[in-house]
């Protein structure tokens, strides 16, 4: 940690958090046992507690150091739920007015920071029911398809510059982007690093290189077709059970547990949020807001999530 700029002041607090974590969570045994131990710790010692986010960061850094990739993936997915519901609330007010947004979000509030993400599906189901009761399908899609993970446009400016340098040839750009992502995955594989929350194997690299819609896109007419990269790509490629395959495909900490636990029935409309995540790149490179459609969704029983993004 001493090698991380700006971390010197937080080192004592993070070490205390890690020591407490290790006293209460066993990192021996099967992965599922360790994951259940982690969830119990989060619910008892982190959720809603002071400095909950710092505790999550502390655990994530230690799990990275200890090379506990499965547990680290869980923590990173949990962290990815932060701020999303608040952003959807703002989008609802902008699209439908403050009064309607108030009705859509009646009795809806983010769970305490650090709550295991398996607790979210019933809340999301209620939100989607209230959303669909208050606005039409087009407005609901518009509300959900925002940049709800708060990705800065500036992070995509190098891609816009590359697109412009390629003469705004979208077909050439998509081919180039897909090839670069394949190279990025290959580097993660060689260095034994997670790619975001995902363990990368040679099979995963080959899967992406053979599928230009995955971490890329294919233009057909005025639309770009994009297939979501599976959350646990290695397990996804090996799995033959349709239900588990859908579970391994899903990235969303808010709903993925509902696929196997049947804790809630969340409509595919929720996946417009993922559509918004995928279209953000194209919003930036085209310098205009694009539109997105959900073509396939694991919440609707499909084995993958697939989107069509309209070129402005």
Residue 178 structure tokens: 């897909």
d(CA 13, CA 16): 5
Question: What pLDDT, on the 0 to 100 scale, is given for residue 44?
Answer: 95
d(CA 282, CA 142): 16
Q: Give pLDDT tens digits for 260-285.
A: 998 789 999 999 999 999 999 999 99
Residue 79 structure tokens: 């962290």
Instruction: Provide the 3-class DSSP secondary structure of residue 163.
Output: helix
With both helix axes pointing from N to C terminus, report the angle between 170-191 and 157-165 in degrees, rounded to the nearest 10: 130
CB 202, CB 286: distance < 8 Å: no
Question: What pLDDT, on the 0 to 100 scale, is given for residue 79?
Answer: 86
Angle made by CA atoms 225, 228, 234, in degrees to the nearest 5: 140
Q: How many residues does the chain have?
A: 312
Residues 267, 127, 118, 74: is their CA dihedral positive or negative? positive
pLDDT of 5 strictly over 80: no
Quote the percentage of the chain above a pLDDT of 70: 100
pLDDT of 62 strictly over 90: yes
Residue 197: pLDDT band with limits 50, 70, 90: confident
Quote the pTM value.
0.89
Residue 57 CB contacts under 8 Å (≥ 6 apart), including other chains:
14
Q: Give pLDDT tens digits for 206-230.
A: 999 999 999 999 999 999 999 999 9
- Map out the domains of the chain as residue ranges: 8-79, 153-310
Pairing state between β 306-310 and 291-296:
antiparallel
């Amino acid at each position: 940690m001493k090698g991380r700029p700006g971390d010197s002041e937080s080192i004592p607090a993070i070490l205390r958090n890690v020591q407490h974590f290790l006293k209460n969570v066993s990192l021996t045994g099967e992965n599922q046992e360790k994951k259940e131990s982690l969830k119990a710790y989060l619910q008892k010692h982190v959720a809603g507690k002071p400095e909950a986010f710092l505790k999550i960061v502390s655990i994530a850094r230690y799990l990275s150091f200890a090379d506990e990739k499965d547990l680290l993936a869980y923590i990173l997915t949990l962290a990815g739920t932060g701020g999303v519901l608040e952003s959807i609330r703002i989008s609802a007010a902008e699209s439908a007015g403050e009064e309607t947004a108030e009705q859509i979000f009646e009795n809806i509030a983010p769970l305490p920071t650090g709550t295991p993400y398996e607790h979210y599906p019933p809340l999301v189901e209620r939100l989607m029911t209230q959303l669909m009761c208050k606005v039409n399908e087009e407005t609901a899609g518009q509300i959900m398809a925002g940049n709800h993970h708060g990705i800065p446009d500036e992070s995509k400016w190098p891609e816009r510059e590359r697109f412009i340098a390629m003469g705004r040839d979208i077909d050439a750009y998509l081919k180039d982007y897909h090839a670069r992502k394949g190279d990025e995955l290959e580097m993660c594989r060689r260095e034994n690093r997670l790619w975001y929350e995902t363990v990368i194997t040679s099979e995963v690299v080959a899967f992406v290189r053979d599928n230009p819609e995955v971490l890329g896109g294919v233009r057909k007419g005025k639309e770009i077709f994009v297939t979501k990269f599976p959350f646990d790509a290695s397990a996804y490629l090996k799995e033959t059970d349709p239900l588990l395959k859908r579970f391994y495909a899903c990235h969303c900490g808010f709903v993925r547990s509902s696929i196997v636990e049947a804790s809630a029935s969340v409509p595919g409309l929720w996946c417009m949020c993922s559509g918004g995540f995928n279209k953000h790149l194209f919003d930036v490179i085209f310098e205009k807001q694009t539109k997105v459609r959900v073509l396939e969704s694991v919440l609707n029983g499909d084995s993958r999530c697939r989107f069509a993004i309209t070129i402005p």
